[in-house]
């Protein structure tokens, strides 16, 4: 390849940029998952109330260990003669992330990590890789490729975030179907039947089916698309345009003070020589101050974006729980009807009132699609029923929002900060390498 060929140089630079986008996405997803697990335990009282951004990698271990030790828990209360040691402290330590892993390692050995811990952890990282890699790749294509500035248009960022949310919703749909439709009894029975979660996941996917994996996909798609469009837009806007605007205002204010201080009227009352004041170039903001302001707005943008993401996605999570509970009931019905010796034809309702409260069945190939369509109507009717009974739908949708948000924000903020750090570091390397290729 001719190093002086501009087209070949541009193709090499574009290929290297796409490789680094995947690299940044993988590191960011892993860092986000690790930081979340390290910071979420401080609010787990009890532990079951909080989950990671998508999948709790200790949920299976917690169910197995609690189910096996539940019969002995009531009779094995910690007895300590010391009045300064409360038995509940032992309970919190045993049910923390480190306590659960230690208990599982002592009981099952090191085999428990690849069999029962790594599957949900890999699923967490995989969905994060899809999200961040798609976002960086889409942003590179939507933005001006010749622009050297790191500030992107809010419209381009919103579109890239929307595309990234769509990709994550599609990639995580089968894993969501397994995670949300796995009851405690199923997990306990699967522990006796399967030695690892890989086999359990494959069997669960066969039971749910391809169409069942995307049941409720409309709510998940809306949650991910609008949530991450606002997520990335808020972050890029605060750490980019808002930060630069504040820096410009500070510089203009200091410049105005300097001009007033060294005006002709002010020099009348000063003993200094005007030539001495204008002999050197004035800097209205040092590099250190500018770097600290960038770091401050970077952190503020990360926290604000994580808070806005939770504000948008939390009501959708409540709706998804209602919707998926109805789909799970339908799965139980179809499984029971398929194993029944006789087939009973379903009774069709002709009442308009019952149209909203029943998921009607149709024969042949239209049956599944019709059921999943009517499940949305049934979910919205149930939400309307809750609104009439509670009197405040917004209060019900955001119940427990503060507690959940305080557990989620550290991980999501850390993911954005790590993304920005890796992007800036690799952008400098790409710029240096591009200059060497051009010269």
* Per-residue pLDDT reduced to its tens digit, 161-204: 999 999 999 998 888 877 777 766 666 666 666 677 788 888 88
Can you tell me which residue has the tokens 């009442």? 351
Q: How far is CA 389 from the centre of its chain?
A: 32
Question: Any idea of the CA torsion for 284, 285, 287, 290, to the nearest 10 degrees?
Answer: -150
pLDDT greater than 90 at residue 110: no
pLDDT at 384 exceeding the cut of 80: yes
Whole-model pTM over 0.75: no
Q: Which residue has the higher pLDDT, 329 or 106?
A: 106
What is the reported pLDDT for 50? Answer: 26
**230-234, 297-301, 316-320, 366-370: least confident range:** 366-370
Taking each helix axis from N to C end, the angle separating 97-108 and 87-94, rounded to the nearest 10 degrees, works out to: 70
pLDDT tens-digit series, residues 240-278 = 899 999 999 998 888 888 888 777 666 666 655 555 555
Task: Give the pLDDT score at 77.
Answer: 43
Mean pLDDT is highest, among 41-50, 145-154, 282-291, 416-425, for 282-291
- 8 Å CB contact between 173 and 123: no
Which ranges in 340-364 belong to alpha helices (H)? 352-355
Per-residue pLDDT band at 63 (split at 50, 70, 90) = confident
List helix spans (H) across 262-366: 264-268, 274-277, 287-339, 352-355
Higher pLDDT, 377 or 372: 377
pLDDT of residue 320: 84
Q: For 347, list phi and psi in degrees, rounded to 5.
A: -90, 130
Query: In the chain, what percentage of residues exceed pLDDT 70?
Result: 54
pLDDT of residue 88: 59
Residue 100 has a pLDDT of: 76
Q: What is the pLDDT of residue 249?
A: 92
Residue 286 has pLDDT above 80, yes or no: yes
pLDDT band per the 50, 70, 90 thresholds, residue 395: confident
Handedness of CA 82, 83, 87, 90 (dihedral sign): negative
pLDDT at 38: 47
Q: What is the percent of the chain with per-residue pLDDT over 90, rounded to a whole number?
A: 10
The answer to whether residue 316 scores a pLDDT higher than 60 is yes
Residue 62: count of CB within 10 angstroms of its CB: 19
Is the pLDDT score of 41 beyond 90? Answer: no
Q: Classify the C-alpha dihedral 132-138-144-145 as positive or negative.
A: positive
Sign of CA dihedral 57, 198, 340, 215: positive
Report d(CA 90, CA 88) in Å as an integer: 5
* pLDDT score, position 47: 27
């Amino acid at each position: 390849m001719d190093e002086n060929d501009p087209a070949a140089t541009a193709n090499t630079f574009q290929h290297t940029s796409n490789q680094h986008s995947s690299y940044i996405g993988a590191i960011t997803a892993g860092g986000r998952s690790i930081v979340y697990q390290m910071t979420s335990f401080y609010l787990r009282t009890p532990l079951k109330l909080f989950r990671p951004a998508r999948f709790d990698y200790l949920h299976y271990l917690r169910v197995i260990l609690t189910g096996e030790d539940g019969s002995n828990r009531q009779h094995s209360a910690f007895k300590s003669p010391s009045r300064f040691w409360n038995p509940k402290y032992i309970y919190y330590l045993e049910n923390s992330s480190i306590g659960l892993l230690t208990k599982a390692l002592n009981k099952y050995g090191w085999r428990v990590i690849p069999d029962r811990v790594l599957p949900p952890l890999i699923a967490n990282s995989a969905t994060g890789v899809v999200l961040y890699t798609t976002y960086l790749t889409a942003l590179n294509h939507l933005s001006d490729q010749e622009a050297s500035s790191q500030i992107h248009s809010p419209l381009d960022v919103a579109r890239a975030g929307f595309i990234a949310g769509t990709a994550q919703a599609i990639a995580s749909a089968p894993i969501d179907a397994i995670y949300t439709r796995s009851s405690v009894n199923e997990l306990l029975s699967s522990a006796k039947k399967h030695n690892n979660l890989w086999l359990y996941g494959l069997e669960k996917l066969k039971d749910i089916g391809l169409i069942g994996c995307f049941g409720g996909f409309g709510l998940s798609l809306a949650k991910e698309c609008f949530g991450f469009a606002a997520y990335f837009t808020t972050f890029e806007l605060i750490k980019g345009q808002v930060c630069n605007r504040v820096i410009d205002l500070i510089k203009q204010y200091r410049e105005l003070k300097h001009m007033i201080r060294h005006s002709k009227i002010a020099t009348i009352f000063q003993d200094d020589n005007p030539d001495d004041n204008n002999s050197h170039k004035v800097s209205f903001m040092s590099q250190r101050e500018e770097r600290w302001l960038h770091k401050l707005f970077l952190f503020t943008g990360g926290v604000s974006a994580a808070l806005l993401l939770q504000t948008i996605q939390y009501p959708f999570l409540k709706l998804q729980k209602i919707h998926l509970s109805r789909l799970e009931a339908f799965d139980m019905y179809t499984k029971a009807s398929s194993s029944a010796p006789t087939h009973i034809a379903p009774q069709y309702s002709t009442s308009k009132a019952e149209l909203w409260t029943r998921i009607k069945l149709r024969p042949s190939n239209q049956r599944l699609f019709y059921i999943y369509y009517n499940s949305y109507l049934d979910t919205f009717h149930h939400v309307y029923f809750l609104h009439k009974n509670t009197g405040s739908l917004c209060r019900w949708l955001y119940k427990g929002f503060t507690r959940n948000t305080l557990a989620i924000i550290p991980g999501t903020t850390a993911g954005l900060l790590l993304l920005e750090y890796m992007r800036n570091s690799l952008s400098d390397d790409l710029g240096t390498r591009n200059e060497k290729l051009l010269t």
